[in-house]
Amino acid sequence: MRDLYPLLFQPVLKDYVWGGRNLARRLGRALPPGNVAESWEIAAHEDGASLVSNGRFAGQPLTAVHAALGLDLIGANNAWAQERGKFPLLVKLLDAHDKLSVQVHPDDDYALAHEGNELGKTEMWVVLHAAPGTQVILGVRAGTTAADFRRAIGDGTLEQHLHTVDIQPGDFICVPSGSVHAILGGALIAEIQQNSNTTYRVYDWNRQANGRARPLHIDKALDVINFAQVEPALSPPRLVDERDGVRRLLLCRNRYFTVERVEFAPGAAYEGACDGRSLEIWGIIEGDVQLDDLALGAVQFALLPAALGPFRVAAAERAICLRCYVE
């Protein structure tokens, strides 16, 4: 379908207590006054839908484009999402200027049973910037039980049960549903996730937002936390393919999405095709590329409809991209 084309978006901005101004300072984004915590780059959720900024769909929310195009947009591999009337993925930038709450996301079965038509959330992070010494919480320490965890929430000693990992720019972290996690401030992160906004907080560092503490969801969190996720370490990327100056590395693969890092040598190009099975999302995180007739730089994201057909990504100079699709 030649009336399909790579879609660019105007993001949806979210102001949470932990946000900052790094989207302006580090990425040159034009922001409204105040702190911005999240920029929903590609979003089709009831809590926020990004607007198309180019081509014949310009000015329309992604929800409307999905309604018009259906599987031609998201692909046959996402038929399960189409049956629920949902766009499958959500792409964000996170300015974790301060600590996020200690939290967990449910899987699909639990979310559908307890949160209406909302899905669970499996996600992954790519670290764009991190101050020296920045850490994330991921999983629990050895020996932690659900009873220990509940008791520690009550007596203020939860931190002794939380496993921390040092992070630096270029790291990636896969965060399956059921993972206890938090970004501990000082990081700018790209996040690819299921299209869900379901979060169960277990601890929010005793802070307040707008004069009150944010709600906790302790019982639901304890229902879904994976206490077998004990002191996980970050995994190295795995080489997928290297030819003609293009190097592809697998970062994260699960039933909801696959994410690769695609590294371009100067003058290299990637020839691909969206053959109807899956949309592709390309995010430029370093350098500049030409995606068909679009000139894109860091940090920008483009959505390639599943029925787009052939496409080409080329880099005159060294560049690094994220490529996301559904297998």
- The architecture that CATH gives domain 9-224 is Sandwich (2.60)
- Which residues are paired to 247 by β-bridges? 242, 263
CB contact at 8 A, 65 and 7: yes
Q: Which of 249, 305, 304 is nearest to 282 (CA)?
A: 304
- Which residues are paired to 52 by β-bridges? 9
Q: 9-224 and 238-325 share one CATH topology?
A: yes
Q: What is the DSSP string of 272-317?
A: EEE-SS--EEEEEEESEEEETTEEEETTEEEEE-TT-EEEEEE-SS
Q: Band of the pLDDT at 117, cuts 50, 70, 90?
A: confident
Q: Which helix (H) or strand (E) holds 48?
A: strand 48-49
Q: Which of 91, 125, 94, 105 is nearest to 229 (CA)?
A: 105
Q: Burial level of 250, CB count in 10 A (0-12/13-18/19+)? A: middle
pLDDT tens digits, residue range 163-202? 999 999 999 999 999 999 999 999 999 999 999 999 999 9
Q: What is the DSSP string of 190-202?
A: EEEEES----EEE
If you average pLDDT over residues 66-92, what whole number do you get?
Answer: 96
Alpha carbon of residue 45 to chain centroid:
14
**Cα distance between residue 180 and residue 250, in whole Å:** 24
Positive or negative torsion for Cα 142, 148, 149, 153? negative
Q: Band of the pLDDT at 2, cuts 50, 70, 90?
A: low
The amino acid at 93: L
Q: On the CB side of 100, how many CA atoms lie within 13 Å of its CA? A: 24
Q: Is the pTM above the cut of 0.75?
A: yes
> What share of the chain has pLDDT > 90, as a percent?
95
**Cα distance between residue 291 and residue 289, in whole Å:** 6
DSSP 8-class letter at 183:
E
Predicted confidence at residue 176, as pLDDT, reads 98
Whether the per-residue pLDDT at 1 is higher than 80: the answer is no
pLDDT tens digits, residue range 46-75? 999 999 999 999 999 999 999 999 999 999
CB contact at 8 A, 265 and 257: no
If you average pLDDT over residues 224-244, what whole number do you get?
Answer: 97
Residues 25, 94, 252, CA angle at the centre, nearest 5°?
125
CB atoms within 10 A of CB 21: 15
Predicted confidence at residue 195, as pLDDT, reads 97
Alpha helices in the chain (DSSP H): 22-25, 62-69, 71-74, 79-83, 108-114, 146-155, 218-224
Positive or negative torsion for Cα 96, 132, 202, 212? negative
Is there a catalytic annotation at residue 151? Answer: no
Fold (topology level) of 238-325: Jelly Rolls (2.60.120)
Task: Give the residue, 214 or 264, on which the prediction is more confident.
Answer: 264
Classify 213 as helix, strand or coil: coil
Predicted confidence at residue 134, as pLDDT, reads 97
Whether the per-residue pLDDT at 143 is higher than 70: the answer is yes
Q: Band of the pLDDT at 211, cuts 50, 70, 90?
A: confident
Domain ranges of the chain: 9-224, 238-325
Please pick, among 151, 201, 214, 261, the residue that the annotation labels catalytic. 201
Q: Band of the pLDDT at 145, cuts 50, 70, 90?
A: very high
Q: Which of 279, 286, 281 is nearest to 260 (CA)?
A: 281
Whether the per-residue pLDDT at 129 is higher than 60: the answer is yes
CA distances from residue 285 to 4, 74, 117, 127, 317 in whole angstroms, order as listed: 24, 23, 33, 10, 13
Predicted confidence at residue 213, as pLDDT, reads 84
**Cα distance between residue 48 and residue 91, in whole Å:** 12
Radius of gyration in angstroms for the set of CA atoms belonging to the chain, rounded to a whole number: 20
Q: Band of the pLDDT at 3, cuts 50, 70, 90?
A: confident
Q: What's the chain's average pLDDT?
A: 96
Whether the per-residue pLDDT at 126 is higher than 90: the answer is yes
- Which residues are paired to 200 by β-bridges? 104
